[in-house]
C-alpha cells in the first residue's frame, strides 16, 4: 500500500489548486484523476467553450467590418483547424502546464478511479489495475457531470455539453435544450460560427437567474443573430437517424417537431458524489446529494474534506479554487475558515454578463435601504471605439452610508470589470472611495467610476 499525507481526488480547478497549496505548505500530496488532469473546466468546459466563443467573434468580425472601412473577400471557416487550435494551442497547453506545476511541487499524480475502502485509505482502479493508497487527510474535488433528461439519452446526435464542444463540423441546424449559462453561451458561439440555432427553455425567459433587463439585452442579440428562442417550452422526446435528429417540443400546449443536425442538452449538472464509497466511511450528504461540510470544508468524517461542485453553494470554477486553498491550509494546520462575502459570476454571452453581491431587490429583502446607480456603455468612449455600445453597469449601494453592496454589468469586458467591484465590496469601499480613484482613459473601466458619480449625484458624463 502506498502512503501519502494528503490525498486529493479530482484535478479540476478545485483539486489541483488544493494539491499545490497543500504541497507548498509542506505536505506530501497525491492527486488522483479519473480522466484528464485539469478536470471538466480545462478539458471540456470553461476553457474550450471560451475558445469557440472567441472563434465565433473573430469570424463575425471578418464578415461584418465594412462599417470600419474593412472588407474581406471569400472569408471561409475551416472548423477542423478551429478545433485543432482549441485542443492543441489552448486546452493542451493549459493541462500540460497544470501537470508541470503539480510535478514541480512534488505532487504525485495517479490516473484512475478512486473509491474509499476505509476512513484512511482508498483504492484506485487504473484500467483494471488496482492499488491502495493510505492517507492522513483527503480532499474530495470530484466535480460534476451533465444531467441527462428523459427522452434524450446521450449518444449519436444527442449531445451533452462535452459533445457539443467537440463537434467535427458546424451544424447547419442546432437545437439546444436549456437556456441557462451553458446553453446561452454555446448558442451564441455556434450562431456566430454559422449555425441556425433553436434554444428551448422551460422558464418564461432565458437566463432565468438574471434580472429582466439583462435577459432582454441577450435576447435582442440572439434575434439579431438569427437564434430562435422558445421560452416556456418543454422538450418531449428526440428521434434520430444517421444524419439528423427530430425533437418534439411542447410550446405552451402546442406541440411541434423541429429537425436539426444535432441536439445539445444543457439543463444543468449533477454532483459526482456517487460511486466513491462515501456511505461506507460515514460521509453524509444532504437531500440534493451534496456533501455536508463545516466552515473549514470538513465533512462528517473530520479528516476528509470536500470542495467545489460537490458541496452546497455556487458551482463555479473560481469558487472551487478558493475552496481548495482554504481546505489545503486547514489540512496544514492553519486556523482559517471560508469567508464568502461576495463571489462574482460571469456568463460569456453576447453581450457578456457579470454580477456580484446583491441586486436591489435582494438588498431590500434583507432590510437594507438600497438604491442603484446606472451608467450606459454607450456613454463610454472606449466602448464606442470598440463598436460595443450595448449594455450598462449598475451599482447597488446602501443609501445610509453609500457602501457598495452589489453590481450587475452587461457589456464589453464585463467579465474583467467585475473584479474591481468585487474587491470594492470585499474591502467595504463606498461610492466616493471608487469615484475618487483615478481610472485610466480611455478605458471601459471608467464606467465604474462614472456609475459611482451617478450614485453620488455628481455625474460628469451623463
Q: What is the mean pLDDT of the chain?
A: 97
Bridge partners, 167 (sequence order): none
pLDDT at 258: 97
Report the share of the chain in percent with pLDDT over 90: 99
Q: Is 198 annotated as a binding residue?
A: no
Radius of gyration of the chain (CA): 24
What local confidence, expressed as pLDDT, does residue 187 receive? 98
Given pLDDT bands bounded at 50, 70 and 90, which one contains residue 69?
very high
pLDDT tens digits, residue range 326-373?
Answer: 999 999 999 999 999 999 999 999 999 999 999 999 999 999 999 999
pTM here is: 0.96
What is the DSSP code string of 6-60?
Answer: EEEE--STTHHHHHHHHHHTT--EEEEESS-TTHHHHHHSHHHHHHHHHHHHHHH
Q: Identify whether 442 is preceded by a cis peptide bond (ω within 30 of 0).
A: yes
d(CA 78, CA 171): 13
12 is in an annotated binding site: no
Report pLDDT for 298.
98
268 is in an annotated binding site: yes
Bridge partners, 255 (sequence order): 250
The reported pLDDT for the residue numbered 339 is 94
Instruction: Name 456's Cβ contacts closer than 8 Å, sequence gap at least 6.
Output: 402, 431, 432, 435
pLDDT band at 78; cut points 50, 70, 90: very high
Is 201 within any annotated ligand binding site?
yes
Residue 407 is predicted with a pLDDT of 98
Residue 293 is placed in which grid cell? 461540510
To the question of whether residue 357 is assigned a binding role by annotation, the answer is no
- φ/ψ of 91, rounded to 5, equals -65, -50
Task: Indicate the pLDDT class of residue 278, thresholds 50, 70 and 90.
Answer: very high
Report the pLDDT value the prediction gives residue 12, as an integer from 0 to 100: 98
Cell of 227: 437564434
- To the question of whether residue 228 is assigned a binding role by annotation, the answer is no
In tens, the pLDDT along 380-416 reads: 999 999 999 999 999 999 999 999 999 999 999 999 9
Residue 66 neighbours by CB distance under 10 Å: 9
Nearest alpha-carbon partner for 179 in 246, 252, 236, 235: 235
Residue 142, annotated as binding a ligand:
yes
DSSP 352: -
Q: Which pLDDT tens digit goes with each residue over 207-249?
A: 999 999 999 999 999 999 999 999 999 999 999 999 999 999 9
Tell me the average pLDDT across 435-458: 98
pLDDT at 252 over 90: no
* Residue numbers annotated as active site: 441
- Go through the domains of the chain in sequence order and give each one's CATH number: 2-144+270-331 (3.50.50.60), 158-267 (3.50.50.60), 345-456 (3.30.390.30)
Three-state DSSP class for 133?
strand
Identify the helix (H) or strand (E) that includes residue 396: strand 392-398
50 and 189 Cβ atoms separated by less than 8 Å: no
- Give residue-wise pLDDT tens across range 17-62: 999 999 999 999 999 999 999 999 999 999 999 999 999 999 999 9
The answer to the question of whether 184 is labelled as a binding residue is: yes
Mean pLDDT across the stretch 311-335?
98
Share of the chain above pLDDT 70, in %: 100
pLDDT digits (tens, 9 = 90+) for 120-140: 999 999 999 999 999 999 999
- Give the residue, 252 or 116, on which the prediction is more confident: 116
d(CA 24, CA 58): 40
56 is in an annotated binding site: no
pLDDT tens track for 26-37: 999 999 999 999
Amino acid at each position: 500500500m502506498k502512503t501519502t499525507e494528503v490525498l486529493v481526488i479530482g484535478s479540476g480547478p478545485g483539486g489541483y489548486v488544493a494539491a499545490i497549496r497543500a504541497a507548498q505548505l509542506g505536505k506530501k500530496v497525491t492527486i488522483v484523476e479519473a480522466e484528464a488532469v485539469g478536470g471538466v473546466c480545462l478539458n471540456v468546459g470553461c476553457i474550450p467553450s471560451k475558445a469557440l466563443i472567441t472563434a465565433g467573434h473573430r469570424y463575425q468580425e471578418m464578415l461584418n467590418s465594412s462599417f470600419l472601412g474593412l472588407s474581406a473577400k471569400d472569408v471561409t471557416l475551416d472548423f477542423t483547424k478551429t478545433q485543432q487550435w482549441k485542443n492543441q494551442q489552448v486546452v493542451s497547453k493549459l493541462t500540460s502546464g497544470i501537470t508541470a506545476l503539480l510535478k514541480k511541487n512534488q505532487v504525485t499524480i495517479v490516473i484512475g478511479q478512486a473509491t474509499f475502502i476505509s476512513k484512511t485509505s482508498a483504492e484506485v482502479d487504473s484500467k483494471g489495475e488496482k492499488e491502495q493508497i493510505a492517507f492522513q487527510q483527503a480532499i474530495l474535488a470530484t466535480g460534476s457531470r451533465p444531467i441527462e433528461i428523459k427522452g434524450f439519452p446521450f449518444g449519436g446526435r444527442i449531445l451533452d455539453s462535452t459533445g457539443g464542444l467537440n463537434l467535427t463540423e458546424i451544424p447547419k441546424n442546432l437545437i439546444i435544450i436549456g437556456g441557462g449559462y451553458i446553453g446561452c453561451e454555446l448558442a451564441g458561439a455556434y450562431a456566430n460560427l454559422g449555425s441556425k440555432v433553436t434554444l428551448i427553455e422551460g422558464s418564461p425567459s432565458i437566463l432565468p437567474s438574471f434580472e429582466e433587463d439583462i435577459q432582454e439585452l441577450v435576447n435582442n442579440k440572439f434575434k439579431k443573430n438569427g437564434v430562435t428562442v422558445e421560452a416556456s417550452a418543454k422538450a418531449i422526446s428526440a428521434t434520430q437517424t444517421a444524419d439528423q435528429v427530430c425533437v418534439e417540443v411542447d410550446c405552451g400546449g402546442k406541440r411541434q417537431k423541429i429537425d436539426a443536425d444535432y441536439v445539445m442538452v444543457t439543463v444543468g449538472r449533477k454532483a459526482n458524489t456517487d460511486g466513491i464509497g462515501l456511505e461506507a466511511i460515514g460521509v453524509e450528504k444532504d437531500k440534493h446529494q451534496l456533501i455536508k461540510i463545516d466552515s473549514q470544508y470538513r465533512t462528517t468524517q473530520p479528516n476528509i474534506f470536500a470542495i467545489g461542485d460537490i458541496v452546497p453553494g455556487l458551482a463555479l470554477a473560481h469558487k472551487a479554487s478558493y475552496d481548495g486553498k482554504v481546505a489545503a491550509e486547514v489540512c496544514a494546520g492553519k486556523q482559517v475558515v471560508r469567508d464568502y462575502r461576495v463571489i462574482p459570476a460571469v456568463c460569456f454571452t453576447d453581450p457578456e454578463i457579470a454580477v456580484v453581491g446583491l441586486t436591489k431587490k435582494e438588498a431590500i429583502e434583507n432590510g437594507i435601504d438600497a438604491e442603484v446607480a446606472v451608467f450606459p456603455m454607450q456613454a463610454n468612449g472606449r466602448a464606442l471605439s470598440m463598436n460595443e455600445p450595448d449594455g450598462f453597469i449598475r451599482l447597488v449601494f446602501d443609501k445610509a452610508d453609500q457602501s457598495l453592496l452589489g453590481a450587475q454589468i452587461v457589456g464589453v469586458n464585463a467579465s474583467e470589470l467585475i473584479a474591481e467591484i468585487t474587491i470594492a465590496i470585499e474591502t467595504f469601499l463606498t461610492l466616493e472611495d471608487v469615484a475618487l480613484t483615478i481610472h485610466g482613459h480611455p478605458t471601459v473601466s471608467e464606467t465604474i467610476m462614472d456609475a459611482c458619480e451617478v450614485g453620488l449625484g455628481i455625474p460628469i458624463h451623463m
